[in-house]
């Protein structure tokens, strides 16, 4: 059966041994935030996730959401769990204290998010969408919108949605048809159909705030004519409490492969009262604020699934007895040896472990830079950090979610036939994980974002935030024989990444289709090198302590062992990706469309 | 929406242009089998699959099977579809004419099987299991068993099962606890619990023949004490009609990730009358007869899923309009261009196409050798063909099913959010495909079979059946500049395979765990090189005709284009696998078990 224990020891390693979270918090003026406090926050989050959210994961999948008379009922236990979640202050963890939030840095937020997603991905959708809505209003909304709505999102009494997709448009938002008619009093009447709206209707909160992309009558076509509106399900009354019902209804729930406990709604807006967020026709900008944060958040979903699937697989591999180890019986008093003794099983487990821990470190690096971009004392530092986040966001989203599905599938494979049975919980990870590769921009779109938008900025300026530290690390530690098993493969794969980057830059200049044809492979190559950098750094941090005794020594030895595995067995993919990329796009671009 | 049209043109290309099916049929004494007749058979199968089985695929998934009072009801339409299937003679297609079968070669059988699995994987399970039961009784049963039961399996009026797995044992059949008590009259009373029994109970046939692995009282422990029994659901009466109910009941249906319309049963045998198949304590041998055929069959399931997912993805990519091509609008009169114009979309489609067509060719090669092993006029040829089949069976099973899941996932990705919605049918392919990597021996077990059992035979004797023809092809065509884009990458990857083989042979001698630690990567490397060989041969067959006009010219040009894509973009994986394998097993074997 699936199990979950929050990886708190690894999180502390990343915060204080791999990165220097304490100094960063001090620099950002987070004076009150100490490792003790941070550990307490993570520990409390772990308890909630293990004891409240995780036990609802299987039952929520079986029960799903139900639409009756326009109202959506979430699965049994979700309402109580959400109340506990909001009561604990988790909805406002990263929100501004001015609105009742706790103002904790992204570095901690992302770790909490990982735990929530590992424990119950469907549940995590509800506060996750609220946080996106919070960010959009916080960064783009007028003061009266902020003061009226943000405290409700921060305390979790109201939730939020992102209403972008319509039947005829997902990726291509320029095709949005939802209209916004000025009502003369500064407001707008919103009319149109939205689909795939997560948390679009549910029974967890007393109100829902829809952030809706729509076109004001007379605005230009395409994306430049889109504006963002806040459309409450219930219009607040004079006391700020939910008042008159607004013109938005849930017309259907989607039947999905997974995340069954997350209500994915079709919403109809009919002359619904909407409030402009940001300026007219600048809806895409505001939407991208939500999207970028959301993309990192989806990356954390992938990471959460990796961790949960890995843990479930390890538990089964210890307990299931089948066959004998090739090198002779290991449990001669039992009818068979635990399958953990089989090298191919351990290959699968180590793959999950290496991806999960590598991704956790990389996610922490990105989150720390996100904090630095917003809070570092030095403006140059802030700018460089923002560049880094812009570069790494599509990589984290696509890589972590692709790996999430891979590791979830390995989890099923470790269970064999029992992995295919719903009761055991492993196949749910595969079904739940699958959407993360799609929403908030498919992973193909992330790759195009990386290659088409991020690489060209300032003649490769964004790349420096990654290339320079990797270079510096290789130069600093290349001569250390103890680190050679880590630095050498890193250097080799980094060379492949640099070569592929130069190849794409040159090819893409002449023909953007050439770069697009290799974008997905390039993103994966970049991501694997980024994980290699994390693993080399983790190995360096762990190596001096690997001789320690007790649980700590075991932790560091496992860290080194996993680093070795990553370098020897997973990183070689980089060479194949380099070969495929530099093979050129001809075989794709020359294939006649009518021949498919 | 998912679509399916049987790939008859490609099948004809493989039969008559890539391989010389006609000569083989003549040599085997299949005098009556001509291309015209074969085409008619494939054409009729295509009709049945497209018109009858495929339309039941989605509804069958939604409805699933229902267990009531020990009886299992298959989804609406399945009973009628099965009746049509049996009536058309499809259950007996490969069965001996002596038992009312049509005696058609495996080469055609496998192509029909691919179509059935592409159209409706769940449906295909029912006749598929019957065929396994037929083979076991045909090859190991006494004459009276054969004459009594085989005609019923061949005409489809009765169906079969394979009852191996028990709660405590799947891979490790030595742990089987089901007992067989001699009843004194030559019969046995079978008692025990079996799980995961496909087609274990259903309403499609008037009787079900369970082939049950059990231990005769007093027999040794482990696999050497297992015997195989035929246990009919209804014992035949004096006229051979279903008579008294035997002591076998369906106690539960499994709730699975997919193949919902396939009844996966828990069966309880209580003093059930069973008839020995083969000799006492030689059950594993008989079971492996079924397993080997079944493994190839499961490989065809993977291929079927690839083809169906590819076709569904192409149809959507043509029709869905989103965004503009990077090289400028292609459908300026439409609001957006079809997504087929995006290179990353075409990369995904070409991946599916290259894997599916490559696998189809490889499957045909194996099936033709299976026929040669049974029917070739020259005994040496028969022996060599049997060697080849033994070598390639685990590769086909694991590679095709891994690729089936990969391509099914690409199909979902092409659909974006719509791929995640059940109604569109694409996510079902992912759920259905997932079991094929597990049953009939997990793909990890296939890899161990290849490395641990097949490679060592006669100091690498089995390998020659693959290595020699590849070598010969490279030598014959290495100097042909027109074929260089195909032969060069093939030669390079073949070198990697030879190097990895030598490495594993040497390492494995010293420590079997070393070979086991690389088995999965080795199998995939082998499989990719085998597909490369098929693609190089297909390119050679297609090249001279690519200048033709009309549909035929387009077919050959697409064949060449797909071959180019395979070599340039997919085959580079071989280099990474070689590096991972020759990196050694240390990082896996040295990781302490308690550190997971």
pLDDT tens-digit map of A424-453: 999 999 999 999 999 999 999 999 999 999
Per-residue pLDDT, B448: 96
Taking 90 as the threshold, does the pLDDT of residue B496 lie above it?
yes
Taking 80 as the threshold, does the pLDDT of residue A290 lie above it?
no
3-state secondary structure at position B86: helix
Per-residue pLDDT, A406: 98
Would you place residue A71 in the very low, low, confident or very high pLDDT band (cuts 50, 70, 90)? very high
Per-residue pLDDT, B470: 98
Would you place residue B400 in the very low, low, confident or very high pLDDT band (cuts 50, 70, 90)? very high
* Upper half-sphere CA count for residue B293 (Cβ side, 13 Å): 25
Record: contact A327-B513, CB cut-off 8 A: yes
Per 3-state DSSP, what percentage of chain B is helix, strand, and coil (rounded to 5)? Answer: 65, 15, 25
How many residues would you count in chain A?
596
Per-residue pLDDT, A294: 86
Taking 90 as the threshold, does the pLDDT of residue A66 lie above it?
yes
pLDDT tens-digit readout, A509-553: 889 999 999 999 999 999 999 999 999 999 999 999 999 988 899
Which of B576, B578, B593 should be substituted to probe chain A, the one whose Cβ sees the most A Cβ atoms within 10 Å?
Answer: B576
Distance CA(A455)–CA(B41), nearest Å, equals 55
Partners of A443 on chain B (C-beta within 8 Å) are 413
Angle at B582 between CA B356 and CA A321, to 5 degrees: 75
**CA–CA min distance B237, chain A (Å):** 36
Would you place residue A251 in the very low, low, confident or very high pLDDT band (cuts 50, 70, 90)? very high
Record: contact B591-A565, CB cut-off 8 A: yes
Which residue is closest to B508 within chain A, CA to CA? A326
Tokens, residue B82: 């099965």
Per-residue pLDDT, B285: 87
Nearest to A292 by CA among A122, A141, A407, A139: A139
DSSP per-residue letters across B337-368: -BGGGSHHHHHHHHHHHHHHHHHHHHHHHHHH
Q: Which of B369, B440, B514, B521 is catalytic?
A: B440
Task: Give me the sign of the Cα torsion angle B177, B183, B188, B192.
Answer: negative
Task: Tell me whether residue B238 is in a domain.
Answer: yes
Nearest to A415 by CA among B256, B410, B292: B256
As a dihedral over the C-alpha atoms of residue B295, residue B301, residue B303, residue B308, rounded to 10 degrees, the angle is 180
Tokens, residue A303: 């990471």
Helix (H) or strand (E) holding B276: strand B264-277
CB A229 within 8 A of CB A192: no
Q: Which residues pair with A338 in a beta bridge?
A: A321
Per-residue pLDDT, A154: 98
Would you place residue B360 in the very low, low, confident or very high pLDDT band (cuts 50, 70, 90)? very high
* Upper half-sphere CA count for residue B586 (Cβ side, 13 Å): 10
Query: SS3 for A414-435, per residue?
Result: HHHHHHHEHHHCHHHHHHHHHH
CB A350 within 8 A of CB A401: no
What is the percentage of chain A residues whose pLDDT exceeds 90?
93
Distance CA(B470)–CA(A222), nearest Å, equals 55
Distance CA(A452)–CA(A445), nearest Å, equals 10
Record: contact B438-A413, CB cut-off 8 A: yes
Per-residue pLDDT, B171: 87
Distance CA(B389)–CA(B394), nearest Å, equals 9
Angle at B493 between CA B490 and CA B496, to 5 degrees: 150
3-state secondary structure at position A539: helix
Residue A165 belongs to domain spanning: 54-88+120-281
Nearest to B416 by CA among A168, A174, A125, A420: A168
Task: Tell me whether residue B579 is in a domain.
Answer: yes
Taking 80 as the threshold, does the pLDDT of residue B455 lie above it?
yes
Partners of B254 on chain A (C-beta within 8 Å) are 421
Residues 6+ apart with CB under 8 A from B144: none
CB A2 within 8 A of CB A312: yes
Q: Which of B234, B251, B281 is the last residue in one of the domains?
A: B281
pLDDT tens-digit readout, A226-246: 999 999 999 999 999 999 999
Nearest to B392 by CA among B459, B296, B306: B296
Partners of B554 on chain A (C-beta within 8 Å) are 592, 594-595
CB A489 within 8 A of CB A532: yes
Partners of A344 on chain B (C-beta within 8 Å) are 444, 447-448, 516-517, 519-520
Taking 90 as the threshold, does the pLDDT of residue B4 lie above it?
yes
How many residues would you count in chain B?
596
Task: Tell me whether residue B72 is in a domain.
Answer: yes
**CA–CA min distance A421, chain B (Å):** 5
Task: Tell me whether residue A277 is in a domain.
Answer: yes
Mean pLDDT on A88-100: 96
**CA–CA min distance B331, chain A (Å):** 13
Task: Tell me whether residue B99 is in a domain.
Answer: no
Taking 80 as the threshold, does the pLDDT of residue A31 lie above it?
no
Q: Which residues pair with B32 in a beta bridge?
A: none
A185 inside 8 A of chain B by CB: no
Task: Tell me whether residue A390 is in a domain.
Answer: no
Per-residue pLDDT, B68: 97
Would you place residue A355 in the very low, low, confident or very high pLDDT band (cuts 50, 70, 90)? very high
Distance CA(A343)–CA(A339), nearest Å, equals 9
Cβ-nearest to A564 among B348, B587, B593? B587
Would you place residue A156 in the very low, low, confident or very high pLDDT band (cuts 50, 70, 90)? very high
Which A residues, 365 through 424, put their C-beta within 8 Å of a C-beta on chain B? 405, 409, 412-413, 416-423
Task: Give me the sign of the Cα torsion angle B291, B296, B300, B302.
Answer: positive
Per-residue pLDDT, B569: 97
Which residue is closest to B520 within chain A, CA to CA? A344
Partners of A592 on chain B (C-beta within 8 Å) are 554, 557-558, 561
**CA–CA min distance A102, chain B (Å):** 34
Task: Tell me whether residue A306 is in a domain.
Answer: no
A343 inside 8 A of chain B by CB: yes
Partners of B253 on chain A (C-beta within 8 Å) are none
Per-residue pLDDT, B327: 86
Which residue is closest to B322 within chain A, CA to CA? A172
DSSP per-residue letters across A56-75: HHHHHHHH--EEETTEEEPP
Q: Which of B281, B301, B333 is the last residue in one of the domains?
A: B281
| pTM for this entry | 0.97
Domain total in chain B:
2
Nearest to B96 by CA among B147, B145, B161: B147
Q: Which of A223, A249, A281 is the last residue in one of the domains?
A: A281
Task: Give me the sign of the Cα torsion angle A431, A436, A442, A447.
Answer: negative
Taking 80 as the threshold, does the pLDDT of residue A141 lie above it?
yes
Which residue is closest to A575 within chain B, CA to CA? B576
Mean pLDDT on A249-272: 98
Which positions of A are catalytic?
Answer: 440
Mean pLDDT of chain A: 96
Taking 80 as the threshold, does the pLDDT of residue B31 lie above it?
no
Would you place residue A291 in the very low, low, confident or very high pLDDT band (cuts 50, 70, 90)? confident
Record: contact A434-B412, CB cut-off 8 A: yes
**CA–CA min distance A584, chain B (Å):** 8
Task: Tell me whether residue B217 is in a domain.
Answer: yes
Residues 6+ apart with CB under 8 A from B529: B470, B490, B493, B494, B496, B497, B574
Residues 6+ apart with CB under 8 A from A510: none
Distance CA(A353)–CA(A355), nearest Å, equals 6
Angle at B229 between CA B228 and CA B230, to 5 degrees: 135
Partners of A576 on chain B (C-beta within 8 Å) are 572-576
Nearest to B261 by CA among B48, B66, B441: B66
What is the percentage of chain B residues whose pLDDT exceeds 70?
100
Record: contact A438-B336, CB cut-off 8 A: no
Cβ-nearest to A587 among B169, B345, B564? B564
CB A277 within 8 A of CB A145: yes
Which B residues, 242 through 271, put their C-beta within 8 Å of a C-beta on chain A? 254-258
Mean pLDDT of chain B: 96
- Residue B267 maps to which CATH number? 2.40.110.20
CB pairs under 8 A between A and B: 297
Partners of A439 on chain B (C-beta within 8 Å) are 417
Per-residue pLDDT, B292: 78
Residue B9 CA: distances (Å) to CA of B5, B102, B157, B555: 11, 24, 32, 9
CB B589 within 8 A of CB B514: yes
Partners of B176 on chain A (C-beta within 8 Å) are none
Per-residue pLDDT, A248: 98
Would you place residue B162 in the very low, low, confident or very high pLDDT band (cuts 50, 70, 90)? very high
A331 inside 8 A of chain B by CB: no
Record: contact B342-A516, CB cut-off 8 A: yes
Which of B338, B343, B456 should be substituted to probe chain A, the one whose Cβ sees the most A Cβ atoms within 10 Å?
Answer: B343
DSSP 8-state symbol, B585? S
Record: contact B572-A583, CB cut-off 8 A: yes
What is the percentage of chain B residues whose pLDDT exceeds 90?
93
């Amino acid at each position: 059966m699936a199990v979950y224990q929050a990886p708190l020891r690894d999180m502390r390693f990343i915060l204080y041994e791999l990165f220097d979270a304490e100094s960063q918090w001090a620099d950002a003026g987070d004076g009150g935030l100490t490792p003790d406090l941070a550990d307490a926050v993570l520990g409390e989050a772990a308890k909630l996730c293990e004891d409240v959210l995780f036990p609802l994961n299987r039952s929520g999948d079986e029960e799903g959401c139900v639409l009756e008379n326009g109202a959506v009922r979430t699965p049994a236990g979700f309402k109580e769990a959400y109340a506990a979640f909001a009561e604990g202050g988790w909805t406002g963890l990263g929100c501004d204290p001015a609105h009742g939030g706790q103002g904790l840095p992204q570095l901690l937020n992302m770790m909490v998010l990982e735990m929530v997603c590992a424990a119950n991905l469907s549940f995590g959708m509800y506060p996750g969408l609220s946080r996106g809505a919070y960010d959009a209003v916080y960064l783009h909304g007028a003061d009266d919108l902020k003061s009226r709505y943000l405290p409700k999102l921060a305390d979790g009494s109201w939730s939020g949605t992102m209403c972008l997709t319509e039947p005829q448009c997902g990726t291509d938002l320029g095709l949005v048809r939802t209209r916004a008619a000025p009502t003369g009093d500064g407001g707008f009447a919103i009319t149109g159909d939205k689909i795939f709206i997560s948390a679009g209707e549910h029974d967890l909160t007393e109100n829902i705030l829809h952030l809706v992309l729509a076109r004001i009558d007379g605005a230009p076509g395409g994306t430049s004519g889109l504006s963002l509106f806040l459309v409450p399900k219930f219009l607040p009354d004079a006391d700020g409490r939910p008042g008159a019902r607004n013109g938005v209804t849930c017309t259907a729930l989607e039947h999905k492969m997974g995340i069954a406990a997350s209500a994915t709604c079709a919403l109809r807006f009919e002359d619904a009262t909407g409030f402009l967020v940001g300026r007219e026709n600048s809806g895409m900008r505001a939407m991208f604020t939500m999207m970028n944060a959301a993309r990192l958040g989806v990356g954390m979903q992938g990471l959460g699934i990796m961790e949960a699937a890995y843990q479930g697989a390890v538990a089964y591999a210890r307990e299931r007895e089948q066959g004998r180890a090739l090198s002779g019986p290991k449990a001669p008093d039992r009818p068979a040896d635990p399958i953990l003794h089989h090298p191919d099983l351990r290959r699968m487990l180590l793959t999950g472990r290496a991806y999960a821990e590598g991704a956790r470190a990389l996610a922490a690096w990105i989150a720390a830079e996100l904090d630095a971009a917003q809070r570092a004392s030095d403006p140059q530092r802030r700018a460089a950090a923002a560049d880094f986040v812009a570069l790494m966001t599509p990589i984290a989203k696509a890589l972590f979610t692709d790996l999430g599905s891979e590791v979830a599938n390995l989890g099923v494979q470790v269970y064999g036939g029992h992995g295919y049975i719903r009761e055991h919980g492993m196949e749910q990870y595969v079904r739940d994980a699958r959407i993360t590769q799609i929403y908030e921009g498919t992973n193909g779109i992330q790759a195009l974002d990386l290659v088409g938008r991020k690489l060209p900025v300032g003649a490769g300026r964004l790349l420096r935030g990654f290339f320079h530290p990797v270079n510096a690390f290789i130069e600093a530690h290349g001569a250390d024989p103890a680190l050679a098993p880590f630095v050498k493969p890193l250097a080799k794969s980094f060379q492949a990444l640099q070569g592929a980057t130069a190849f794409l830059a040159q090819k893409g200049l002449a023909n953007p289709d050439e770069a697009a044809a290799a974008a997905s492979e390039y993103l994966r190559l970049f991501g694997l090198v980024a994980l290699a950098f994390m693993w080399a750094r983790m190995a360096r941090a762990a190596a001096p302590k690997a001789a320690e005794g007790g649980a700590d020594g075991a932790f560091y030895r496992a860290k080194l062992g996993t680093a070795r595995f990553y370098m020897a067995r997973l990183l070689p993919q980089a060479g194949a990706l380099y070969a495929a990329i530099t093979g050129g796009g001809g075989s794709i671009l020359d294939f006649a469309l009518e021949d498919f």
